[in-house]
Structure 1
Amino acid sequence: MISKEVMFVTFIHNSLAMRIFLDATTISPVQSGTGAYTRNLLQSLPHVSGAEHVYAAVGPETGKFLSLPEKTTLLNKHCSPHRVLNHQLIGNRDRIPADLAIFPNYFMPLFWEIPSAVTVHDLSFLSHPHYYSFKMRQWYRRRIRHSVDKASLFLTVSEASARQINRHLGVPYDRILVHPPCWLESKPIVPHEQRSKTLLYLGNMEPKKNILTLIEAFNRSGLTQYCLELVGKLHAGGSWARAFRHLADASDRVTWTGYLSDDEVKRRLSEAFGFINLSHIEGFGLPHAEALSCGTPCLISHDAAMQEVSGGRSLVTDPDDTAQIAGQMRALAEYDFDKAREHAAEMWERFSRKKYMESLEKITNRLTSENAPLFPGFGAGRPNKTTAVLATASYAAVFGEPLSVSKMYLAFPLPVTAEREVRNEAARLAKQYPGLVSMRRGQFHILQPDAVSNIRKLDGQKVHSLVRRRHQLLLRLLGRVPLIRAVYYSGGTAHQTSLYDKPDLDLFIVTRKNSVWISYLIIRLLSMMMLRKDSCCSNYLVDEHAQEIFWQRDYYTAFQLLFLKQVFRKPGTRHIRQCNPWIRQFFPNAPVTYNTAENTHESENKSAGTKSLISGLVFAANLAVMRLFAKKWEMNGRKNRSGGLMWDAFRIKLHSNDHRPWVYRIYDHILQNTLSRIRSSNRENVRKVSGSW
């Protein structure tokens, strides 16, 4: 049998875990550079330290050919990548319970409030606009501006691209993180005498890749014993496509193979005599890096990103100078293969699997850096009983309140067999340090010399009763609103504290599916009609289908959910604690299992088509109300994920106290000050005993 102590350590470990969402819709059987980049992410993210689960949105065919690591769930989307981003993921309508998200294809969905990283591979539509249509340029500019406004972090694959992001989009460097798109594994190097007399290009056939100049330069190079092989799909039309086909067909020494499988591409890269890429713009150049790792000599344009990746290991040419390119092709044919072998070993070291994983760790750490400490004041380790009692009471002391021993037992961070263990330790501390802590009528209180009030003189239960009666009509009206499924007392109202200076109701509200913002608007209107605008505080509102609080799975949130007091809960609505079993990761003595007899949702007799239509209309209205409130709050300087405020399409958190920086500072001050005073008292007692001898 596993002991409670072992279970507690396991809970501590699991509470650090994070759930990651990845937009993997760019992965397809015909793999592009962005698709390869995304596939590497999908294969690696489940192995990042602390990763609990990875949710990946994929295209209709992805699951048929993709091998998945453990801890991965595919969310199938039967449409194009851009349609998924712009419609299927808007407002996180699938309620994906992720702690962070990565979007590898430039954009992120509208109304997406999970901390996210967006990858921008290059900004060629801004730096080289003549390669794109006016419509495409305008679309990319508009959508990427949304990414600039909403993304927590910008990812890119080279320092050159980072400079473009800073220059063209105005994103500061502290929001940009450069990480490699792949890792390069060591492999046997094919000797030069066994290689084919082939110069290879790998990539799309499109104008910005400078293919026409490449063919012309090869025809002028005089390399009659060599052939030029072009591998990739045609990604252009019109006059350029006709010119490309004409040039490719005009020479017997130029071959266009079209798209090839990954295994075939790797074989040709390792057996080619040289690799050439004369692109005008690249974000990284995956084929170029792969060729170097195969010991294949490379000729590249003076594009900044490719030169950065090469690190001086490739021949470089002006992509617009045909004569210079032809000369460099002749030099490529005579390249020293011993030097190319050395370059391969250097690339294996520079782009190793270990460094790739370290880079992913940086990404996840940056996106989760604002999370609250696991156990404020004493970290993730298991404290002793004395520290545990003081740390638990310190939370109540932040608000100048005592904490009952019965509540302390439920919120105790150590597994204990009975409440008396906690009571005995609290009583011992009160007896041994009477000037530091007190114990009266089962209430444990940390005495602070600088506190406004050490012990409340008013009867909290009596004040709470008065406040509740004052709002009785409002609570009755909330119960009659069809969109509201459950109401709980939370915060100071649940603890019958903090009612002296501001006698309002702190409520935790559960709403019907897709209507959390509509319900919030109704509550505001009801409060205003009853002249109760500032006295009914909706600390949390959550959708009944999104009751898991995954934003901040921390001590403060667990404490709040543990002590909610139910006002009413309509049939078919799950209790909030049933949806948040992670509470026990912080409080192993907490009883969070409830009767599940009512754990069924109300059946509806409408047809599936009608339900889908109505649900879509309600969701659209919900997003519209969300946008109005979000704009108003941001105009007033109240930003999402700032000062304890948080919201998305299905959850609204307006209870800011628990996660404000001042709470952390006061909490730590109270706990550390109390521990210091106890240590000082112990040293004084030792000196007195020594003096008596």
Structure 2
Amino acid sequence: MNKIFINARFLTQEVTGVQRFAIEISKQLKQIAPAGQICFVSPPNILHKGLSSELEAIVVGKHTGHLWEQLDLMQFLRSQGNPVLINLANSAPILYGNNVVTIHDLAVFHNPKWFSLPYRTYYRFLTPRIIESSRLVFTVSKAVKGEILSKFDLPKRKVQVIYNAVSGSFKRSDFQRPATKAKYVLTVSSLDPRKNLRNLILGFTQAEVTDHDLYIIGGKSAAYASTDLERIIQNDNRIKLLGRVSDEDLPGLYSNAKLFAYLSFYEGFGLPNIEAMAMGTPVLTSDIAAAKEVCGGAAFYTNPNNINDIATTISNLLKAPALLEEYSNKGLSKCREYSWTNSATKLYDAITKL
């Protein structure tokens, strides 16, 4: 039995969609693989102590961040005989020759202005090199697979799709909708220019519905270019910036929303869309390739660049409760097509065939 190592740097990071993927896949791999086959390796600055204990992660090295990944992790792997290393979160030790990497999207190549200069400089340098040198490349949608194959000279068999899914905490039956509650539209995203919160906010404020609030869940990151969103938000007391919320509180916030809106300019998958579906909340999302692939006929679509379209669509939907209920049921059915167990099994099978 060959031992497989997993780059668990995600244990040191705040949870966004990329880290959620890494966490859920890791939990499943821990169950799928024979005892002792998989070893999770982490830097010392772990944020998620309980998860680290669950995965039985080991701490190696003294550095953190990119330096740990490029130096400490690689040195440790060489001391172990250069085993397969699974990297689940867009990054990998660049000089290591036995990588398997997951690339969630190619956003840094679409619009550099979405990201801070240090972030985009690093990832525009790193991404091509780890894609071309890795033994296998996983990604989270056929849309991104097509982008990778178009941009890089790779054989098709080297790039495989493993979808995101919904974690077990997202169960509509666990949350009873109260008889009286706040009326709100919900969005969940980092305060990232790519997520297009500006147009969503402007569309919401222009919509012909005045009895709903807009709840925005998400935090800031140094990775993203600065925005003036907070100033815009301050001009309308119906817009509620909730910041990061706990995994325990998030499902209930999805469940009680009248509509979930996720209007990114670009996505690799768009995990919040299917999380909302799992909670029975109808979804309005962007008419972009990945969203259409993932949501199919179970979501409403609008042009993320057109504020008038966004405003009109929000107005029409909030005035059509029967239509919202129809798409609530469609979403509940659609999200069942995605499974962390199936995705992790596909990854594990591919790794064991190397």
- Please point out which of 166, 183, 197 is paired with 2:149: 166
Unaligned residue ranges in structure 1 (runs of 5+):
1-16, 371-693
Superposition CA RMSD, Å: 2.6
1:41 is displaced (CA, Å) by 2.2
Partner of 2:132: 149
Tell me which of 59, 84, 89 is aligned to 1:75: 59
Assess, with a 3 A threshold, how the Cα gap between structure 1 residues 175 and 29 changes in structure 2: closer, same or farther. closer
Give the structure-1-normalised TM-score: 0.47
Change (3 A) 1:148 1:61: closer
1:62-102 C-alpha deviation (Å, 9 max, x unpaired): 462326447x3422555443222222123445624674321
The alpha carbon displacement at 1:152 in A equals 0.8
Structure 1 Cα separation of the partners of residues 62 and 38 of structure 2: 20
Task: Please give the alpha-carbon distance, in whole angstroms, between the structure 2 residues aligned to 1:280 and 1:23.
Answer: 30
Match of 2:41 among 39, 57, 62: 57
- Among residues 221, 242, 256, which one is paired with 1:235 in the alignment? 221
What's 2:203 paired with? Answer: 217
Q: Does the CA contact (< 8 Å) of 1:92 and 1:112 recur in 2?
A: no
**Offset of 1:222 from its aligned partner?**
2.2
Please tell me whether the aligned partners of residues 57 and 77 of structure 1 are also in contact (alpha carbons under 8 angstroms). no
8 Å contact from structure 1 (residues 22, 102) kept in 2: yes
AA matched with 1:349: R
Query: What letter corresponds to residue 220 of structure 2 in structure 1?
Result: L
- The question of 1:252 aligning with 2:237 is answered yes
Q: CA deviation at 1:169?
A: 2.3
Determine which of 296, 299, 306 is the counterpart of 1:321: 306
Post-superposition shift, 1:126?
A: 0.8
Question: Which runs of 5 or more structure 2 residues have no equivalent in the other structure?
Answer: none
Task: Letter of the 2:262 partner, please give it.
Answer: N
Deviation at 1:61, TM superposition (A): 2.5
- Rounded to whole Å, the distance in 2 between the matches of 1:291 and 1:156 is 22
Q: Partner letter of residue 169 of structure 1?
A: F
Deviations 1:190-238 (A, max 9, x none): 5596663110111111211111111111110021100001111123699
Identify the residue that residue 351 of structure 1 maps to in structure 2: 338
Q: Residues 28 and 262 from structure 1, CA distance in 2 versus in 1: closer, same or farther, beyond 3 angstroms?
A: farther
- Displaced runs of 4+ in structure 1, greater than 6 A? 236-239
Given that 1:295 and 1:337 are in contact with CA atoms closer than 8 Å, whether structure 2 keeps it comes out as no
Tell me, in whole angstroms, the C-alpha distance in 2 between the residues paired with 1:239 and 1:79: 26
The offset of 1:295, in angstroms, is 0.7
Partner of 1:113: 97
Report the CA distance shift for 1:252/1:157 in structure 2 as closer, same or farther (over 3 A).
Answer: same
Conservation of the 8 A alpha-carbon contact between 2:60 and 2:73: no
1:22 aligns with 2:6: yes
Q: TM-score, normalised by structure 2?
A: 0.88
The answer to whether the Cα contact below 8 Å between 1:55 and 1:75 also exists between their aligned partners in 2 is no
Partner of 1:306: 291
Distance 1:226 1:23, change over 3 A: same
- Secondary structure of residue in 2 paired with 1:52: coil
Compared CA separation, residues 233 and 239, structure 1 to 2 (3 A): closer
Give the aligned partner of residue 85 of structure 1. Answer: 69
Q: Which SS does the other structure have where 2:248 is aligned?
A: helix
Q: SS in structure 2 opposite 1:149? A: helix
Residue 272 of structure 1 aligns to which amino acid in structure 2? A
Larger radius of gyration: 1
Q: Distance in 1 between matches of 2:115 and 2:255?
A: 33
Aligned with residue 21 of structure 2, among 26, 31, 37: 37
Indicate conservation of the 8 Å contact 2:6/2:85, yes or no. Answer: yes
Distance 2:253 2:58 in 1: 32
Structure 1 Cα separation of the partners of residues 101 and 246 of structure 2: 28
Among candidates 19, 38, 51, match of residue 66 of structure 1: 51
The CA distance in 2 between the partners of 1:296 and 1:196, in whole Å, is 15
Count of residue pairs the alignment pairs up: 348
Residue 112 of structure 1: CA displacement?
Answer: 2.0
User: What SS class does the counterpart of residue 279 from structure 1 fall into?
Assistant: coil
Greater relative contact order (CA < 8 Å, ≥ 6 in sequence)? 2
Q: Distance in 2 between matches of 1:43 and 1:68?
A: 12
After TM superposition, give the deviation of residue 184 of structure 1 in Å.
4.7
Q: Are the aligned partners of 2:164 and 2:338 in contact in 1 as well (CA < 8 Å)?
A: no
TM alignment of 1:436-447, pairs within 5 A: none
Alpha-carbon contact 2:283-2:300 (below 8 Å) kept: yes
Matched with 2:185 is: 199
Among 301, 326, 345, the residue aligned to 1:361: 345
Could you tell me whether the CA contact under 8 Å between 1:317 and 1:324 is conserved in 2? yes
Deviation (angstroms), 1:345? 3.5
TM-aligned CA distance change 1:278 to 1:177, over 3 Å:
same
